[in-house]
Amino acid sequence: MAFAAVDVIRAKRDKRELTAEQITQIIAGYTAGTVAEEQMSALLMAILLNGMSADEISQWTSAMIASGDRMDLKGLPKPTVDKHSTGGVGDKISLPLAPLVAACGAAVPQLSGRGLGHTGGTLDKMESIPGWRATLSPEEMLAQLRDIGVVICAASDDLAPADRKLYALRDVTGTVESIPMIAASIMSKKIAEGTASLVLDVKVGSGAFMKDATSAAHLARTMVRLGTDAGVKTSALLTDMSEPLGLAVGNAIEVAEAVDVLAGGGPADVVELTIALAREMVDLAGLSVDPADVLASGAAMDSWRAMVAAQGGDPDAVLPRPLEVEIVTAPATGVISKMDALAVGMAAWRLGAGRARKEDTVQAAAGVLCLAKPGDEITEGAPLFELHTDTADRIPAAAAELAAAVEVVPAGRPVPRRAIVMNTIRG
Ligand code: URA
């Protein structure tokens, strides 16, 4: 029977399971432009409302992988392992993590994206390093993985092109928030990238896609199954995103914090999560070193410097400084009991650290520096946040985002320390 997109839409509208052939044809047709935008929009909404079975998600993922090239990293002399985060506020973990895991003996192919909305993008942060280049040819990427063991770069346009087109459509049709489609979108890119093992950092909380642990666990299990079924050793850590990670939220200031971690310092939560993810990655890669020892040895810093230099960056360059700095003060005296990740992420975005549309440019020096975090004592009127921007007229809107971001309880009242790693799901 001839393929008709409307039959696929009707089937999902009526809650029927799509066949493998229907999924293959609709994704191929949409990528080639023979399935109309309005037809795919209707199907996406039907999927959002009626869901997909495990078999449908798996087929949808395979069809998106088949829409482009699949990289082959099998010729590398080291085990390959990557990490993907579902996105959070102050999430600079890839920056210390990738060189650390390389220094442990693995090859880490970190194909990353740019930020959209309140969560930052790894490439935007790295581009604040003068001279650093995000775009590498496949040959350059392979050579760097062979020589240094780590690359952070932009994914090529040929990697799961169906996902790029579909993601843009989901963005404007209110259909991003579908667990099957988020899982298929992330995993199609990671499977096509060719890594042998993958650790997923699935964020939970106000600053994350998934606001509660139940939906985050559902997303994590769906992705772990997709990876495992495709022959990629996959685990997921569910991690807290109710408050920003570390003290720095932005671009250059997050690079500076990542370098502090590589130098043996940095905020305790950033160090804790970097080590937890590195241990899972090293374990999946079959290596038997403790990343905490490797970090302490300085070898991860050596890998970072080599990686930055190989991509044209100067690891010793002074990072961009903002033209304007404004202080926001504490609203009360006591102990900070809560700092809302979403509010801090929105403030950084309003200062110019992120983009509203994908064509927008970001300010390298923009962001928010938290001068205290939950558990710290604070005095009313003392500096609490530093707002960084190159455009002074962005400051009032950013300060407004922070007006209700923090809760302060009387001194002496215990503020429980949050557990960064909430759960681990293994394939
Ligand atoms: N990140 C992705 O790559 N895809 C999604 O659908 C959501 C987050």
Same domain, yes or no, for 88 and 217?
yes
Same domain, yes or no, for 347 and 392?
yes
Candidate of 86, 165, 187, 200 to mutate for ligand 1, largest count of ligand atoms within 8 Å of Cβ:
86
* Look-up of token digits 């909430």: 422
What are the strands, taking DSSP E only, across 189-264? 197-204, 233-240, 248-250
Measured from the CA of 170, which atom of ligand 1 is nearest? 6
* Look-up of token digits 């579909």: 166
| Per-residue pLDDT, 1 | 63
pLDDT in tens, 204-228: 999 998 999 999 999 999 999 999 9
Q: Is the CB of 186 under 6 A from ligand 1?
A: yes
Q: How far is the CA of 241 from the centre of ligand 1 (A)?
A: 17
Q: Is the CB of 185 under 6 A from ligand 1?
A: yes
pLDDT in tens, 229-250: 999 999 999 999 999 999 999 9
- 409 phi-psi bin (left φ>0, alpha ψ -120 to 50, beta other): beta
pLDDT in tens, 38-76: 999 999 999 999 999 999 999 999 999 999 999 999 999
pLDDT in tens, 392-409: 999 999 999 999 999 999
pLDDT in tens, 165-192: 999 899 889 998 899 999 999 999 999 9
Distance CA 18, CA 351 (A): 45
Same domain, yes or no, for 254 and 288?
yes
Q: Which of 258, 286, 317 is the last residue of a domain?
A: 317
Q: How far is the CA of 39 from the centre of ligand 1 (A)?
A: 21
> Distance from CA of residue 223 to its chain's centroid?
15
CA-nearest residue for atom 6, ligand 1, is 182
Measured from the CA of 176, which atom of ligand 1 is nearest? 6
Q: Is the CB of 387 under 6 A from ligand 1?
A: no
Q: Looking at the annotation, which residues are catalytic? A: 84, 163, 170, 185, 189
Report yes or no: 348 and 413 within 8 Å, Cβ to Cβ.
no
Domain count, the chain: 3
What is the residue range of 89's domain?
A: 81-156+189-317
Is residue 371 scored above 80 in pLDDT?
yes
Same domain, yes or no, for 288 and 398?
no
Measured from the CA of 186, which atom of ligand 1 is nearest? 3
CA-nearest residue for atom 3, ligand 1, is 186
Is residue 321 scored above 70 in pLDDT?
yes
Q: Is the CB of 61 under 6 A from ligand 1?
A: no
What is the three-class DSSP state of 290? coil
- Tell me the average pLDDT of the chain: 96
CATH number at residue 395: 3.90.1170.30
Model-level pTM?
Answer: 0.97
Same domain, yes or no, for 381 and 360?
yes
| Per-residue pLDDT, 358 | 76
Measured from the CA of 182, which atom of ligand 1 is nearest? 6
Same domain, yes or no, for 215 and 256?
yes
Report yes or no: 64 and 30 within 8 Å, Cβ to Cβ.
no
